[in-house]
Amino acid sequence: MRIGVVGLGYWGKKVAREYRDLMKEGIIDELVLCDVLDENINEMKKECPECEFSKYYKEIMNNLDGVHICTPNATHFEIVNDFIKSGVNVLVEKPMTLKYTEARKLAYKAYNKNIVFAVGHIFRFNNAVRRLKELYEKGELGELYYAKLQWGALMDSPQGRDVVYDLAPHPFDILNFVIDDWPIKIFAIGKTYRRDEYEEVAYINAEFENDFIANIEVSWIYPDRVRRVEIIASKKFVRLEAVKQELYLYDLKDEKWEKLDILPNNTIKDEISHFIKAIKNKITPVNDGFNAAENVRVLEACVKSIKSNKVINLEW
pLDDT at 288: 98
Rounded mean pLDDT, 291-302: 98
Residue pair 92/119 in contact (Cβ under 8 Å)? The answer is yes
Residue pair 192/163 in contact (Cβ under 8 Å)? The answer is no
pLDDT band at 184 (very low <50, low <70, confident <90, very high): very high
pLDDT at 316: 86
How much of the chain exceeds pLDDT 90, in percent?
A: 95
Spell out the domains of the chain, with CATH numbers in brackets. Answer: 2-121+268-288 (3.40.50.720), 124-265+297-313 (3.30.360.10)
Strand partners for 34: 6, 54
Interval 22-67: pLDDT, tens: 999 999 999 999 999 999 999 999 999 999 999 999 999 989 999 9
Residue pair 274/111 in contact (Cβ under 8 Å)? The answer is no
Contacts of 8 (CB under 8 A, 6+ apart): 16, 33, 34, 35, 37, 40, 41, 43, 44, 70
Task: Give, in order, the Cα–Cα distances in Å from 197 to each of 157, 191, 204.
Answer: 11, 9, 19
pLDDT band at 251 (very low <50, low <70, confident <90, very high): confident
pLDDT band at 190 (very low <50, low <70, confident <90, very high): very high
For residue 249, what is the enclosing H or E element? Answer: strand 246-251
Burial bucket for residue 59 (CB in 10 Å: 0-12, 13-18, 19+): exposed
Q: Which of 145, 149, 134 is nearest to 240 (CA)?
A: 149
Q: What is the sign of the dihedral through the CA atoms of 80, 111, 104 and 284?
A: negative
- How far is C-alpha 26 from the geometric centre of its chain's CA atoms? 27
For residue 32, what is the enclosing H or E element? Answer: strand 30-34
pTM of the model: 0.96
pLDDT at 278: 98
Rounded to whole angstroms, the Cα distance separating 184 from 169 reads 16
Peptide bond just before 95 cis, omega within 30 deg: yes
Interval 197-217: pLDDT, tens: 899 999 999 999 999 999 999
Look at 311 and 254; give whichever has higher pLDDT: 311
Rounded to whole angstroms, the Cα distance separating 276 from 3 reads 9
pLDDT at 59: 94
Residue pair 289/69 in contact (Cβ under 8 Å)? The answer is no
pLDDT at 159: 85
pLDDT at 276: 98
pLDDT at 151: 98
- Number of helices (H), then strands (E), in the chain: 9, 15
pLDDT at 242: 97
pLDDT at 194: 93
Q: What is the maximal distance between C-alpha atoms in the chain?
A: 62
Rounded mean pLDDT, 5-13: 97
Bridge-based pairing state of the strands 89-93 and 66-69: parallel
At residue 160, does pLDDT exceed 90?
no
pLDDT at 26: 96
Interval 134-159: pLDDT, tens: 999 999 999 999 999 999 999 998 88
pLDDT at 158: 87
Rounded mean pLDDT, 112-139: 98
At residue 255, does pLDDT exceed 90?
no
pLDDT at 44: 97
